[in-house]
Amino acid sequence: MLPEVEILLNVLPLTPETKGIINREMLDSLPKTRCTRGEYGDHVHESDLLNALDCGQIKPCFRC
């Protein structure tokens, strides 16, 4: 399903099972150059997100 995603919205509560759920494996499965923005918290492996941004897998979105 992830390769077809146009919008990924995380509304999961932070629990031991969801901590780090957005990681390199998930980010690599998304279509290339999708946007990301927002508050991430402990759901995201920060280094994996930064790597995906650096590699161009995803790009930042800015709100005007």
| Residue 51 CB contacts under 8 Å (≥ 6 apart), including other chains | 24, 57
Q: Measured between alpha carbons, how far is 43 from 49 in angstroms, rounded to an integer?
A: 11
Q: Measured between alpha carbons, how far is 23 from 19 in angstroms, rounded to an integer?
A: 10
Per-residue pLDDT of the chain (64 residues), as tens digits, is 888 887 778 888 999 999 999 899 988 888 876 666 666 678 888 898 888 888 888 877 765 4
Whether the CB-CB separation of 62 and 38 falls below 8 Å is answered with: no
Q: Which two tokens stand for residue 49?
A: 């997100």
